[in-house]
Amino acid sequence: MLQRLALLDHLKAAVRRSPITALLGPRQCGKTTLARLFAEGRETTIFDMESVADQRRLQNPELALGELSGIVILDEIQAVPELFPVLRGLVDRPGQTTRFLILGSASPHIIHHASETLAGRVECIELSGFDLWETGPARLNALWLRGGFPRSFLASSDGDSFAWREGFVRTYLERDIPQLGFRVAAPAMRRFWTMLAHCHGQTWNASELARSMGLSDKTLRSYLDILTGTYMVRQLQPWFENLGKRQVKAPKVYFRDSGLLHHLMDIQTRHQLLGHPKVGASWEGFAIEQVLRAFEPSQPYFWSTHGGAELDLVFMHQGKRLGFEIKFTEAPKVTASMRTAQSDLKLDNLWVVHPGAHGFPMDKGISAVPLAKIQETASI
């Protein structure tokens, strides 16, 4: 298992600061492993909220939790949303020193009352699968093909990795979504998820997908929100300013894990990936996720106008406005769209992220940077 020391340090700091720390991310991304590493050498009580025995231990949760000290870990807390008001009451007690670490596979915004109940009392840490700096640049191609879920990435072969992802998809559709209280037929959601894979990196168009599936726009919007709230997809919102140009206002949709994207498109090997018509879109989404992991912006955007100018990623970082264009070529060139984005958005820097080995200046304020070195760029 790869070490995740930076995340462990982040978790230690959050638990020290806040009475409740929420470690959130998709299932099987390593939340429980990280929490148990954190618990080593500390006074800790662990509850798995999917365990019947642990649920019985918490039949009177206020009494059971109120008597504990040190660190209390509540794993898969979305299974028992009624615990949120109990936690609020406990941490509001005078002299309370117990720290609660809650692990969840769904955003608080789709868990009933969670975001409102714990407002001002919780610090959230979002955890994903392995990133490029945990696996090492030498394994970039494997990470892109298999995705970052630990068991998928560390599988002994591409075939074993693909089989693990099929089991993950089935469990997610048949158990995880119903557990959150959503009544969605597994075949319908799988069909939507698969169709969404072929729209990866495109602007969201509910009407087009709705016609293809014979469902309403509202239903498909709810499906998309479920996938977003459970960390399966990212809705990248448009950057909007009054620039005197008609700008795109619908979000772009990206799979957060390239391995799941490839699984739903039936791509099992690197050879199949490089020959697939969606290889450029796949690389774009993979690179965007790695850039976001390196820079950790509070809110990322894309920018696009109806006139054709666009930029894959734009956000504020340390007081600067940064733009990123993703190109699946080792020799990217400056385009008119890049110059328009640089001028209209008043970018401090525009980085063209590519799969090659070398970075180089392209124009004033525009530089090419290899994806493998993007973290070095973030630290400048």
Domain ranges of the chain: 5-126, 132-378
Rounded to an integer, what distance in angstroms lies between the CA atom of residue 197 and that of residue 160?
A: 21
Inter-CA distances, 299 with 235, 296, 307, 311, Å: 11, 9, 25, 15
Mean pLDDT of 73-88: 91
pTM value? 0.93
Instruction: Name the residue among 376, 335, 380, 332 with its Cα closest to residue 355.
Output: 332
Rounded to an integer, what distance in angstroms lies between the CA atom of residue 281 and that of residue 379?
A: 27
Q: Are 90 and 60 in contact (CB under 8 A)?
A: no
Q: Is 143 or 248 the better-scoring residue by pLDDT?
A: 143
Q: Which two tokens stand for residue 218?
A: 């509202």
**What is the per-residue pLDDT for 47?**
96
**What is the per-residue pLDDT for 245?**
62
Q: Which two tokens stand for residue 378?
A: 């973030």
**What is the per-residue pLDDT for 171?**
96
Instruction: Say if domain 5-126 classifies as CATH 3.40.50.300.
Output: yes
Q: Are 31 and 4 in contact (CB under 8 A)?
A: no
Rounded to an integer, what distance in angstroms lies between the CA atom of residue 351 and that of residue 353?
A: 6
Instruction: Quote the strand ranges of 171-296, DSSP E.
Output: 202-203, 233-238, 252-255
**What is the per-residue pLDDT for 244?**
56
Mean per-residue pLDDT over the chain, rounded: 92
Local confidence band at 243 (pLDDT 50, 70, 90 cut-offs): low
Mean pLDDT of 110-138: 86
By percentage, how much of the chain surpasses pLDDT 90?
82
Pick among 3.40.50.2300, 1.10.10.10, 1.10.1040.10, 3.40.50.300: CATH of 132-378: 1.10.10.10
Per-residue pLDDT at 217 exceeds 80 = yes
Mean pLDDT of 137-161: 97
